[in-house]
Amino acid sequence: MNRAAHTAHAKGFSLVEVMVALIIVSVGLLGIAKMQALLLADTGVSRVRALVALEASSLAASIQANPDYWASAPNGLAVAIDPSATTPVVAQNDATLSSAISAAVTNSALCESTGSTACTAANMAGYDLVQWEQAMASVVGNAKTNLACSTTNQQVTCTITIDWQENTVNATAQEQGSTAFQNQSYQMVVQP
């Protein structure tokens, strides 16, 4: 009888309690893993957005560094930059810039040598655009950029618009098993 009384007062965990505790811990760990995956994806998206902003600032700095061309850019100047196109940099409404872009594509050292007499302000602008397109393509390969300049009251204003598509990860997309792509756009206004 003494042994039966001892068994009734025995303390410990039953198998059911251990299984319930394991399920609760497993669900918590899965939640932490999902949060970490979402944070990692958001970090990648933030990285691309920051690089796009830096590249836009780089193009704006190139424009401001060459006021001889950009301050007198023709009204309605439009430059389309698309790395996936056959001709990645195309200028409209300015034949001088178009030929400067072609020269920069065929002669990559056109404006690099200090003794070059062929490096005019338009050639430098074309060279800067071609070099910027190559840098941008290495950062965000699928980005398309439009540079539009207009003149109002004898003041030139250029608008840089960068459009790209990014892969976003959110809880809804993961639960549905699909990938969500969102179109993003960044715009900067610069006055040379």
Q: What angle do CA 172, 175, 177 make, to 5 degrees?
A: 110
Whole-angstrom distance, CA of residue 49 vs CA of residue 133 = 17
Q: What does pTM read for this prediction?
A: 0.74
Percent over 70 (pLDDT), the chain: 82
Strand ranges for 55-154 from DSSP E = 77-81, 89-92, 144-152
**Per-residue confidence at 129, pLDDT binned at 50, 70, 90?**
very high
Q: What is the pLDDT of residue 147?
A: 95
Q: Write out the residue range of the structural domain in which residue 145 sits.
A: 2-190
Whole-angstrom distance, CA of residue 185 vs CA of residue 145 = 10
pLDDT in tens, 159-184: 999 999 887 665 555 555 556 778 89
Domains identified in the chain, total number: 1
